[in-house]
Amino acid sequence: MKIIIVKNKIEGGKKALEIYRATLKSNARVLGFATGSTPLTTYQELIKSDLDFSQIISFNLDEYVGLQADDPQSYHHYMEENLFKFKKFKTSFLLNGVAVDEKAEIRHYDQLLEKYPIDLQLLGIGRNGHIGFNEPGSSFNERTHKVGLTESTIKANSRFFADEVQVPRYAYSMGIKSILAAKQILLEAYGSSKASAVLRMVQGPMTTARPASILQTHPNVTLILDEAAASQLSKVKKEDDIYANSFKTCQNLY
């Protein structure tokens, strides 16, 4: 993994813009987007930029089950307010949270993903290590699916709703196998609350208990982290340096 450490999410957005600029310059035509508070500064930088998305196809990672596209808390609405009404895309595919036939909706999304492979997928990471809405215990081989949200995710997302009761209990999400199919992955994480998840993603064992840990197997992953989110990585690095220096000292003794 390539790790970029920034002072804050504003600087992180600027670094992300550089990656998008390089990706589009390399003739990328399909982008995968994420929602939540993490990528907002990235979207702000994309909006301010001179980048042309008129020939770009986009996909979104997930959507709450039960919310209409025009619901203020739906991810359709989020994308419209934070990117799409400012930048024109050729086509944007988003999951339908009120699909009558859930299995058909999931099957259709997978077919679209196969037809238009994603060049760059943007991700955030949950405190429990989830990516998209792939909660702990999710299979690494799953494609788009309906998932029940954990209490920790519901609580974390309740800040966007009037109260926790209003947070949907289910969502559609690209599966981990779908995410790994992207040619390039960009993951952003900010704040000390994400430090433990980042540590386990980068240096912990690969386990479904920490879904993001599977990103260790992907050949092209870039992490943009602020100092707080990277704080435990720095600690481990220092410990590794101490060990390496001690090892050299022992070698010199012999």
Please give the positions annotated as active site: 62, 128, 130, 135
Cα distance between the two ends of the chain: 36
Give burial (CB, 10 Å; 0-12/13-18/19+) of 126. Answer: buried
Measured between alpha carbons, how far is 51 from 59 in angstroms, rounded to an integer? 18
- Looking at residue 218, its amino acid is H
Cα four-point dihedral sign 7, 10, 12, 15: negative
Measured between alpha carbons, how far is 182 from 122 in angstroms, rounded to an integer? 10
Q: Beta strand 170-173 with 145-148: parallel, antiparallel or unpaired?
A: antiparallel
